[in-house]
Amino acid sequence: MAGVEARVHDTFESFAEAAAAVYGADPVRHTGALSAVASARSRRQAEAMVTVHDGDRLHGALVADRGWPAMVSGLPADAAQLVADALAGVRLPGASGPEPEVEAFGRAWSANIGITPAYGFRQRVYELGTLVEPQGVRGEFRQADEGDTDLLLRWRAEFLAEAVTYVPPEREPEKVLADQMAAGNVFGLWCVDGEPVSMAFSRVPEADMTRIGFVYTPPEQRGHGYAAAVTAGITRRAQQAGIKHITLFTDDANPVSNRIYQRLGYRFVDSYLEVKFAGEPLRH
């Protein structure tokens, strides 16, 4: 790729300014990358921040939040080897994004460090069309506050253990939760007779896009429609805040959750693939 250059950024500010045009052009496709950007903003740094330039034209971007897979939705397949070479010496646990981009970067990165990539976890990206409120679910929605901290900490941990394939260790989960809420991220609860029975989360919007996550109902409360109800509640709140793009991820292999979100009015947009870089790197 004559004339194409990978620029590794040392400061968050320079990366965010350069990459904004890539991620802002399609915030739904880049929902994972925008979340990584938001996390990096809070610390003014990330594990890897790269933009690709073809002369004066921005060609792509990659961001990797500390300890998490690199988000490659903005990295064209034809630039994967260039960026993998530019990041020699950086440790990445994996990569995530649309399948073609993940496969291209996975091949390049794995060849460089001499390991076999492990492709596996697949997710679906949904965006809200028209919200369809679930009917007949007992209870009501409310926003969580500091008084719910112990409950949120417990349910966050249970959700991460059950639903997420790779999670960097949280040394201070209390601080992580406090920082999330202080930054404007919102946890919502579905309550029956005043008692919380289900939880959901809405991220601070980036490029007029928020993503719903941490949808969790304890096993003993499942089967009553609470997950659908709390998701509708947190979605409605995002709509009322005027956010244009409301998205969520689902496990591709979970037909129940996919049906729930489709019934709420979410429509399929894209598929994400995750690759893990296992083994001992040779060049690091």
Looking at residue 2, its pLDDT comes to 67
Give percent of the chain above pLDDT 90.
81
Helix (H) or strand (E) holding 96: strand 94-98
For residue 218, give the 3-state DSSP assignment.
Answer: coil
Q: How confident is the model at residue 279 (pLDDT cuts 50, 70, 90)?
A: low
Pair 178, 184: CB distance under 8 Å = no
Which pLDDT tens digit goes with each residue over 219-249? 999 999 999 999 999 999 999 999 999 999 9
**Burial category of 41 from C-beta neighbours within 10 Å (exposed 0-12, middle 13-18, buried 19 and up):** middle
Enumerate domains of the chain plus CATH numbers.
Answer: 4-124+272-276 (3.40.630), 131-264 (3.40.630.30)
Mean pLDDT of 148-156: 96
- Which of 63-67, 80-84, 144-148, 231-235 is predicted with the least confidence, judged by mean pLDDT? 63-67
Q: Which of 34-48, 83-97, 122-136, 196-210 has the lowest mean pLDDT?
A: 34-48
What is residue 281's predicted lDDT score, i.e. its pLDDT? 42
Print the SS3 string covering 93-139. CEEEEEHHHHHHHHHHHHHHHCCCCEEEEEEEEEEECCCCCCCCCCC
pLDDT at 161: 86
Predicted pLDDT at 19: 96
Pairwise CA distance, residues 128 & 240, whole Å: 14
pLDDT band at 165 (very low <50, low <70, confident <90, very high): low
CA distance 208 to 218: 31
- Where residue 166 falls among pLDDT bands split at 50, 70, 90? low
Closest CA to 121 of 277, 284, 276, 279: 276
For residue 280, the model assigns a pLDDT of 40
Mean pLDDT of the 200-207 span? 96
Q: State the average pLDDT for the chain.
A: 93
Among the residues of 44-87, which ranges form H helices?
A: 80-86
Give pLDDT tens digits for 27-75.
999 999 999 999 888 788 899 999 999 999 999 999 999 888 999 999 9
Confidence of residue 282 (pLDDT cuts 50, 70, 90): very low
What pLDDT shows up at residue 168? 67
pLDDT digit string (tens) for 102-138? 999 999 999 999 988 888 889 999 999 999 999 999 9
- Determine the pLDDT at residue 67: 84
